[in-house]
Amino acid sequence: MTTVDPEVRTPQQVVGAWLERFNAALDAQDADAAADLFATACFWRDLVALTWNLKTVEGPEGVRDMLTHTLATARPRDFHVTEEPTEADGLVEAWLEFETEGGRGQGHLRLRDGRAWTLLTALRELKGHEEHRGSARPAGAEHGINPERRTWLERRINEAEELGHTTQPEVVIVGGGQGGIALAARLRQLDVPTIVVDRHARPGDQWRGRYKSLCLHDPVWYDHLPYIKFPENWPVFSPKDKIADWLEMYTRVMELNYWSSTEATSARYDEDAGAWEVTVVRDGTALTLRPRQLVLATGMSGKPNQPSFPGQDVFAGEQHHSSAHPGPDAYAGKRVVVVGSNNSAFDICGALYEVGADVTMVQRSSTHIVRSATLMEIGLAALYSEEAVANGVTTERADMIFASLPYRIMHEFQIPLYEQMRERDRDFYDRLERAGFEHDWGDDGSGLFMKYLRRGSGYYIDVGAADLVADGRVKLAHGQVDHLTRDAVVLADGTELPADLVVYATGYGSMNGWAADLISQEVADRVGKVWGLGSDTTKDPGPWEGEQRNMWKPTQVPALWFHGGNLHQSRHYSLYLALQLKARAVGIATPVYGLAEVHHTG
Ligand SMILES: Cc1cc2nc3c(=O)[nH]c(=O)nc-3n(C[C@H](O)[C@H](O)[C@H](O)COP(=O)(O)OP(=O)(O)OC[C@H]3O[C@@H](n4cnc5c(N)ncnc54)[C@H](O)[C@@H]3O)c2cc1C
């Protein structure tokens, strides 16, 4: 084992000494020597820089294996600090830059007792394919005399007319919500011809169509899109129609080739041509697109779980999934049963109560609730808030800090935060419990964010409706729905809940289902489950994956990719997916290290 120089003291010196040895080991292509610099319990998270994958390896043996397989091709080198390293509680932290054979990256290092505990390496750009930004921005104007002159607009119109007709896109993105839009913007800056198709008439309609009281649950600092930040006077919690308009504006000014009113109806991979055949119906006319890469950005909250109960056909009132719920206005004075007790259920119950409906929530399993203000203060403020920005933690910096925490140990950081939340809002939880509400903190007490990453469901960020349940203004019933009668929902224990309207706030299916719909069940099964970490907690079966299943990285089906998540994830991970797609578009070798195996279908 390498010994650590006892004379070395300041964080700068500790990091300097470590980097010197690390760089020397990398230059010598010596995986053993590099692995020796890592602590017994350690994590190296690589975002595309060495592995052409999103991959976290653990322990010196994991580091050794990754380097053994990647050093010769990736040739990582010249790791150096970009600012003064810091030290707190025996942990030395440093922000890094480095190079690989094909790109430049950014990194973050945590050293404990002179050895690496966590290392993040993230590709930022490909050499020779840098974005035209900053000092490399396009001139726009073309000075001089040019009889062949075509304006920016003429060139743009020409491109839009040709792409998908006389020329083929390199990438087709199915789904033009915030995910598809952010990725398309990145690809545009990287000069990768891309078409986004969405069945809606206008960008942003995904949000316009949701119930009218909806505002984002995440604050503005968490929600920026790539390249264009929300202005300083933008509301903290964006109302849904404002987000919709922002997405529409963004699509236009970022000059995306966005085909609205276009449904992708089928896709198959043509092995001989090395391209997909994607059939789309645009404004009623079918045509075939032949991209080399296909991205499904069809939304993790896009495929409604439509429950089926006996008696739905005899129920005389109205019934719909929460995704089709228009808002409360038509239901003043009506009896409404909302099946479910997560975010949508609470939002919908709250809005219905406000207009004077008689509302009953049916809780089928326990839910985790955190009050919005508490979550913002304890859970997010250090990274995403006005205060964080004032402290120099920009959204980009926050994204990297967040990315530097390996998923394996993330819950350990989350648990104490949720203990604080529990303490702060003790009265609130006591009241909910007294009302009979079944509340949980996640299988291991790690709360909302881990639930989101593991299963994408099972929580409510309280903006007021929880109080309605706690004090009985929204009635609470428990159990599974057994059947519907002409005018009631009947639960398994025989409880009858009279209803004029039934809202099924029963969540959304796996994104994998989109692949089955569009391509085939066989391909969907080959891809396997999408989302989750393999934490072996409820709805996230093991084995441990280390990264989110199949998201933003190569899948077992070549040239098929999944993109999406919340606004933070769409912003951050769209860069890595765009770089992977760009590399393939220009023929850069992309040997993937550690392609995830499939353990679960659907
Ligand atoms: C009630 C509710 C509240 C939410 N609140 C937040 C929040 O506060 N913050 C947050 O970050 N996220 C929130 N989410 C999650 C939200 O769904 C996602 O953040 C966001 O919509 C995901 O964006 P996306 O682009 O991945 O998918 P979507 O916005 O779902 O977009 C997918 C698109 O794919 C299109 N599509 C699907 N299949 C096809 C096809 N075959 N052909 C053409 N088009 C197709 C659909 O028309 C749709 O426009 C919320 C979700 C819901 C339901």
Q: For 519-553, how does the pLDDT look when each residue is reduced to its tens digit (9 = 90+)? A: 999 999 999 999 999 999 999 999 999 999 999 99
In order of 219, 291, 379, 410, the CA distances from 385 in angstroms are 8, 40, 11, 20
pLDDT at 261: 97
CA triplet 151, 259, 509: central angle to 5 degrees? 150
Question: Please, are residues 186 and 207 in contact by the beta-carbon 8 Å criterion?
Answer: no
Instruction: Please give the helix or strand (H or E) that residue 408 lies within, else none.
Output: helix 407-424
Measure CA 529 to chain center: 15
Q: Which amino acid is at 204?
A: G
Q: Helix 567-585 and helix 395-403: axis angle, to 10°?
A: 80
Span 264-275, average pLDDT: 97
Question: Please, are residues 356 and 379 in contact by the beta-carbon 8 Å criterion?
Answer: no
pTM attached to this predicted model: 0.96
Euclidean distance between CA atoms 66 and 52, whole angstroms: 12
Whether the pLDDT of residue 228 is over 80: the answer is yes
Tally of CB atoms within 10 A around 292: 17
Euclidean distance between CA atoms 43 and 66, whole angstroms: 12
Whether the pLDDT of residue 6 is over 70: the answer is no
pLDDT at 370: 98
User: Residue 412 has which token pair?
Assistant: 């350990």
Whether the pLDDT of residue 37 is over 70: the answer is yes
Span 128-137, average pLDDT: 96
**Ligand 1: distance of its center to the CA of 110 in Å?**
35
pLDDT at 303: 83
Tell me if 296 CB under 6 Å of ligand 1: no
**Ligand 1: distance of its center to the CA of 47 in Å?**
24
**Ligand 1: distance of its center to the CA of 206 in Å?**
6
Tell me if 210 CB under 6 Å of ligand 1: yes
DSSP class of 375: I
Tell me if 114 CB under 6 Å of ligand 1: no
The region of weakest confidence among 107-116, 128-137, 206-215, 372-381 is: 206-215
Q: Which amino acid is at 286?
A: A
User: Residue 409 has which token pair?
Assistant: 């140990």
Peptide bond into 543 cis (omega under 30): yes
Could you report the per-residue pLDDT of 11-20, keeping only the tens digit for each?
A: 999 999 999 9
In order of 109, 176, 189, 190, 568, the CA distances from 157 in angstroms are 46, 20, 17, 19, 32
Whether the pLDDT of residue 62 is over 80: the answer is yes
Span 345-374, average pLDDT: 97
Could you report the per-residue pLDDT of 279-318, keeping only the tens digit for each?
A: 999 999 999 999 999 999 999 877 899 999 999 999 999 9
Extended beta strands in 485-564, E state: 488-491, 496-498, 501-504, 560-562
CA triplet 106, 108, 109: central angle to 5 degrees? 140
CA triplet 164, 167, 173: central angle to 5 degrees? 40
Tally of CB atoms within 10 A around 144: 6
Euclidean distance between CA atoms 491 and 506, whole angstroms: 15
Whether the pLDDT of residue 511 is over 90: the answer is no
Tell me if 199 CB under 6 Å of ligand 1: yes
Tell me if 328 CB under 6 Å of ligand 1: no
Question: Please, are residues 364 and 342 in contact by the beta-carbon 8 Å criterion?
Answer: no
Span 429-452, average pLDDT: 97
Q: In what order do the strands lie in the sheet with 358-363?
A: 318-321, 501-504, 335-339, 358-363, 475-478
**Ligand 1: distance of its center to the CA of 322 in Å?**
13
Could you report the per-residue pLDDT of 193-224, keeping only the tens digit for each?
A: 999 999 999 999 999 988 888 899 999 999 99
Q: Residues 173-192, buried b or exposed e (16+ Cβ, 10 A)?
A: bbbbbbbbbbbbbbbbbbeb
Q: Which amino acid is at 449?
A: F
Which residue, 168, 140, 158, 258, is CA-closest to 204? 258
Tell me if 217 CB under 6 Å of ligand 1: yes
DSSP class of 557: S
Ligand 1: nearest atom to the Cα of 302:
30
Mutate to test the pocket of ligand 1, among 237, 298, 346 (most ligand atoms within 8 A of CB): 298
